Amino acid sequence: MLYTPDIETLRVAHRICGTLSGTLPSVSQQNVFLGTPLTLLPEEVAALVNTGIACIVHDAQSHGTPTKHQLQRWAQVRKLIIEAEMRDREASVAPVKVDTSDKAQKKRLEREARKAAQAQQSELSSVTVAEPEPAAPPAVAQQQQAYTVHVPGPSSELPWYTARIFHTIDEAREAGVWTYPQDVKERAECAVFRDLWEKGNYLGPGIKFGGNYLVYPGDPLRFHSHFVASVHQSRTAAIRPMDIVAFGRLGTATKKVHLLCGYDDESGTVSYHSIEWASFG
């Protein structure tokens, strides 16, 4: 899964779209338009790692137990950030402006004169007992003042995080982190995906159209898919006539060509055959 701006890099530079699976805060009660994280197909992960574009990180094992020194250092840095925030807040408090114009002074004198006349009149009519002035509010200590808590976004920013990285599929498999591909079927899927991807196509899940992948000539946000690719473990694998008819009719109804992808496990090569209805186009 990906949460970082690498999502844009994969789509723009490497034609890997993945599937967004997170809920958008502004439209949480729907499942049509989704947000981060981005979930990658196993074939996409294998293609990226095998070509050196990406690597596999075992995030669960990358979080070590922090030492006493690391915790003290982290608390010290946090304290320095809070103190700097307090100083900036005190410096940004604007001084109270006092209007010293002649008009304002005249109004102020008139107001004080009225108050003095009212006080003199009340003294003559009755004797009043002066109420004690309210005590000044106690000064709030710096430790009790509100401050902003900065929570690090990616966990890789924590000082006790040490990424455990695997640069090849074999390394990840030996460590028990990654097992795909592990049989002929999965090797065929990886080979077909990578071959179509390296030809400049965009690929996405094709289960809704009866295949393994949808093949796009460009970004799926701009283009419709042209092919529905189904993967077969062997070039000589048997295909039922009913399936051939179904592939052709389904492709015609959805305006797509069904692509039969045969894989040769010995040579690691892929061959293609397309099926379409006779009146297609």
For 17, 97, 111, 159, 228, the CA distances from 231, given in Å and listed in that order, are 20, 77, 91, 45, 10
Q: Is 256 a catalytic residue?
A: yes
Q: At what angle do helices 184-198 and 42-50 cross, to 10 degrees?
A: 60
Q: Is 224 a catalytic residue?
A: yes
**How many angstroms separate the CA atoms of 44 and 53, rounded?**
11
Choosing from 216, 232, 258, 263, the catalytic residue is: 216
**How many angstroms separate the CA atoms of 66 and 87, rounded?**
30
Backbone angles phi, psi at 133, to 5 degrees: -70, 140
Q: Is 208 a catalytic residue?
A: no
Choosing from 106, 107, 185, 224, the catalytic residue is: 224
Choosing from 202, 213, 232, 256, the catalytic residue is: 256
Name residues whose C-beta falls within 8 Å of residue 275's C-beta, 6 or more positions apart in sequence: 244, 247, 248, 251, 257, 258, 259, 260
Nearest Cα residue to 203 out of 64, 23, 18, 25? 18
Residue with tokens 């399936």: 243
Q: Which sequence positions are flagged as catalytic?
A: 216, 224, 256
